[in-house]
């Protein structure tokens, strides 16, 4: 087995606990039916950007390699387009699986290091929980506080979008 991340932090018992909790949920139960045909990876428009394809994610989950999966960029790149689900011969809800994994990664502090998507996602979830809806300007402000060096580039994009009446 090739590990994606050389700096493992979880003890095997901790990985087993995470794995057990994942497979007790609805998404985990569905994953058991995967036949590893690879149609999901072949259909995914983001597969070329992912460090693990969707098929590989399911394979690692079933083998108990929770840390590899939870630390991967893949779970943050999924845009829930449903292309994989539409074509999966077993009807496995891969987008739901990715969602559950994102929440688990945040809850257990395992989100991919040095990658900004988890911060955006966490802001999104916090607003949804607190306010029942998400404001794009609040989301952008929260992101700006965490990553101030990104803001000049984002502001110029926002101005261009405003000029074209896209926001
Ligand atoms: S398409 Fe469905 S059955 Fe095939 S590898 Fe992907 S999840 Fe598994
Ligand atoms: S839902 Fe996610 S994993 Fe499935 S094809 Fe779309 S981006 Fe890829």
Task: State pLDDT tens for residues 73-96.
Answer: 999 999 999 999 999 999 999 999
Q: Which ligand is nearest to the CA of 95?
A: 2
CATH number given to 12-113? 1.10.1060.10
pLDDT of residue 7: 53
Q: What is the pLDDT of residues 6-53, one digit of tens each?
A: 456 888 888 899 999 999 999 999 999 999 999 999 999 999 999 999
Ligand 2 centroid from CA 6, angstroms: 26
Closest-CA residue, ligand 1 atom 4, reads 37
All CATH 1.10.1060.10 domain ranges in the chain, comma separated: 12-113
CB atoms within 10 A of CB 159: 11
Q: What is the pTM of this model?
A: 0.83
CB 88 within 8 A of CB 26: no
Task: Report how far residue 164's alpha carbon sits from residue 129's, in angstroms, rounded to the nearest whole number.
Answer: 32
Report whether pLDDT(106) > 60.
yes
**C-beta 94 within 6 A of ligand 1:** yes
Closest-CA residue, ligand 1 atom 2, reads 88
Q: Tokens standing for 101?
A: 């994994």
Closest-CA residue, ligand 1 atom 5, reads 36
Going by C-alpha positions, the residue among 142, 15, 121 that lies closest to residue 75 is: 121
CB 84 within 8 A of CB 39: yes
Classify residue 156 as left (phi > 0), alpha (psi -120 to 50) or beta: alpha
pLDDT of residue 2: 37
Distances (CA, A) of 163 to 116, 150, 158: 27, 20, 9
- Consecutive H or E run containing 122: helix 117-131
What is the CA angle 154-109-76, rounded to 5? 45
Burial of 102 (C-beta count, 10 Å sphere; 0-12/13-18/19+): buried
């Amino acid at each position: 087995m090739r590990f994606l991340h050389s700096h493992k932090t979880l003890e095997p018992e901790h990985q087993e606990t995470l794995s057990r909790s994942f497979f007790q949920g609805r998404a985990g139960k569905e994953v058991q039916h995967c036949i590893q045909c690879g149609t999901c990876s072949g259909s995914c428009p983001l597969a070329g950007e992912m460090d693990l394809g969707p098929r590989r994610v399911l394979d690692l989950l079933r083998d108990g390699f929770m840390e590899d999966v939870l630390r991967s960029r893949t779970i943050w790149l999924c845009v829930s387009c449903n292309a994989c689900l539409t074509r999966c011969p077993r009807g496995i809800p891969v987008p739901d699986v990715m969602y559950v994994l994102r929440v688990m990664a945040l809850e257990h502090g395992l989100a991919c290091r040095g990658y900004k998507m988890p911060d955006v996602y966490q802001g999104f979830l916090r607003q949804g929980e607190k306010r029942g809806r998400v404001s794009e300007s609040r989301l952008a402000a929260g992101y700006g506080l965490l990553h101030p060096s990104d803001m000049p580039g984002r502001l110029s994009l926002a101005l261009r979008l405003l000029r074209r009446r896209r926001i």
